[in-house]
Structure 1
Amino acid sequence: MRITILANRDLASNMAINLLLQQLPEHRYAIFLSAKVGKSENLPEPLKSLAFMEQTLFNQIVYPLIETQQYTTNMGNPPANTSLPLKSFQQILDSGIPISDIQNINSPSSYQTLAAQNPELIISIRFGQILQEAIIRLPKMGVINLHSGKLPDYRGVMATFWAMLNNNENIGTSLHFIDSNKIDAGKIISSTQRRVDYHRSYLHNVLSLYPEGVKTIVAAVNKLNCGEEVKTQNMDLSSGQYFSFPNEVTLSQFAEQGKRLFDYDEIPELVAKYR
């Protein structure tokens, strides 16, 4: 199957793409990356620090480092009993899968670029732009999106943050079709759920969602590839809420509850996944 992946140039997207490629290596892929999610100008300082962890640190420092032979040699053998090492975006590109940045997916030139891939299915994971009808109608099998939150309860941005702020017991993912330009609004294919680890950071909890979340993508792709029906259920948007980026007030509330967006001591654990 010809699959186009739309993702964001961040740590979580990279991990999810790696997991997907490891579990579905038989398909033909093209990957297009957005630079950010949502209108992220004038973010509060805590969110800027989070963006450094999720994007700048890995894109500009860690990934270039792991791409060098010196890093590979000096780090020695990977830890025992772990999954396959993850690859940077550049290493994925070097493996033969095309990766491109995309500024405006709905522009005529971007449409032509995607159409040239002749995708049978588009998979969206943390992609930072809203798809319009021309792109949605492009693949014959449709567009599926993995949302890192429970739908319709937590539509929009940083669903795990809002769930943790509300002291929810569980967080999860929702795999759904995109059939319009409404955000997180299409028919739900499947979902996952796991307990929040309040001893760990928001970032850790977000990343913990993707192993099971990607499995739902794999199951849906396998069904579509075999010509089987992918069962769905309608989403009642009136029973949920749309969330945007937290502001200074909600970020302060989060911190006052003893919760953290990220921990710097998580960095070695994350880097180790790439060796």
Structure 2
Amino acid sequence: MRIAICVKKDIHGLLAARILAARLGFAELRFFCSVKTRQAEDDVPALRLMKLLERDVAIDTLAMMEPPTPGLPHTDEWVPLHDMRADGGAATLLAFKPDIVISARFSLIFPQRVIDAVPRGIVNVHPGALPGYRGLFAPFWQVLRGERELGCTVHMVDRGIDTGPILGVARVPFDATRSLMWHTAGLYRGGVAIAATAATTLARGSQPAGTPQPAGGAYFRFPSAADFAALPIPIVRARDYAQVLGDAFMPLHGETCTPQRQAA
């Protein structure tokens, strides 16, 4: 059984990879990472700060000083995917011949040819409650819009964007004393745990129960500087950053990431 893990090369991607490596040890895993960046990440000061903390410090600096973890390749050994072109990233991913793909915080859209080539399907971890929060930066928009409980939806990938059948939802109550980073990490912890369970079911030859998404919904893009100014909580707090770093670099055998609340 071959499972491809597709993440972003940042602190939340490392957290997701660590949870999946701990829970899917029965399979041959290969770790791929998107390296796509968008202009907004340089133009909006808050996004520059997030990139600094989540990638430059956490991955390019701290991860480089960590010893190898058995069962989890070092981040500089993850296979970079720059695109999903047939002769580019798609070919690189499919050369592994994965039976299952798990996508968590992955920045690229899977084209139909890739979806069709993965026999048991692609499971996506989307850090927003679907269908209401499709697209980019879902944790941010849920907080900005005053949700008292944030959702992370795990779904099968189909030809749409964040539209496939829902396998489960992890929920994190909004906490005004914590930061956006803390909420985002909590959403991924819960969602990735659900994805690991779904992948285990698929690996056994069964199909996890999925629920079609209701009609409607909304699609969001990157927030602007004005949007960040209206956010009721800080982007990060020191204690939250320390906690997320600790979780991301935790030994595999110490993994205890359980959704705070799960709904089918």
Q: TM-score range by the shorter chain?
A: 0.7 to 0.9
Structure 1's 202 and 188: CA in aligned 2 closer, same or farther, altered over 3 A? Answer: same
C-alpha distance in structure 2 between counterparts of 1:262 and 1:195, whole Å: 17
Would you say 1:93 and 2:73 are equivalent positions?
yes
Query: Which residue of structure 2 lines up, in the alignment, with residue 110 of structure 1?
Result: 89
Contact 2:182 2:241 in 1 (8 A): no
| Alignment match of 1:143 (pick from 122, 125, 131) | 122
Does the alignment pair 1:4 with 2:8? no
Q: Which runs of 5+ in 1 are unaligned?
A: 69-86
Rate the CA distance shift 1:21–1:91 in 2: closer, same or farther, 3 A.
closer
2:135 maps to a residue whose letter is G
Other structure's SS at 1:53 match: helix
For the residue of structure 2 that corresponds to 1:232, the secondary structure is coil
5 Å-filtered alignment, 1:209-224, equals 209-224=187-202
Aligned-residue CA RMSD in angstroms? 2.3
Q: TM-score, structure 1 length as denominator?
A: 0.83
Match of 1:33 in 2: 33
* Residue equivalent to 2:168: 190
1:2–1:27 Cα contact (<8 Å) kept: yes
Q: Deviations over 1:189-245 (max 9, x none)?
A: 11111211110000011101223212211221122122223221111341x111111
Q: Residue 224 of structure 2 corresponds to which residue in structure 1?
A: 247
More deviation in 162-171 or 35-44? 35-44
Contact 1:5 1:30 in 2 (8 A): yes
Report how far residue 162 of structure 1 moved. Answer: 0.9
The normalised TM-score by structure 2 is 0.86
1:253 maps to a residue whose letter is: A
Matched residue SS, 1:270: helix
Alpha-carbon distance change, 267 to 141 in structure 1, aligned in 2, over 3 angstroms: same
Structure 1 residues 45 and 98: CA distance shift in structure 2, 3 A: closer
Equivalent residue letter for 1:270: V
Post-superposition offset of 1:37: 6.0
Q: 1:34 is aligned with what amino acid?
A: S
- SS in structure 2 of the partner of residue 17 of structure 1: helix
Hey, what does 1:59 align to over in structure 2?
A: 59
Give me the whole-angstrom Cα distance separating, in 2, the residues matched to 1:11 and 1:151: 24
Q: Aligned partners of 2:170, 2:37: CA distance in 1, in Å?
A: 22
1:179 match: secondary structure: coil
SS at match of 2:20: helix
Other structure's SS at 2:230 match: helix
**1:63 Cα deviation from its structure 2 partner:** 0.8
Aligned to 1:232: 210
Shift of 1:129: 1.0
Partner of 2:180: 202
Q: Distance between the aligned counterparts of 2:191 and 2:175, measured in 1?
A: 17
Q: 1:147 to 1:15 in 2, by over 3 A?
A: same
Deviation at 1:48?
0.8
Distance (Å, rounded) in 1 between the aligned partners of 2:146 and 2:82: 36
**Kindly, what percent of the aligned residue pairs are identical?**
24
Instruction: State the match for 2:103 in structure 1.
Output: 124
2:14 and 2:132 map into 1 onto residues whose CA distance is: 26
Residue 177 of structure 1 is matched in structure 2 by 156
Q: Counterpart of 1:270?
A: 244
Q: Name the CA distance, whole Å, in 2 between partners of 1:109 and 1:162.
A: 32
Number of residue pairs matched? 249
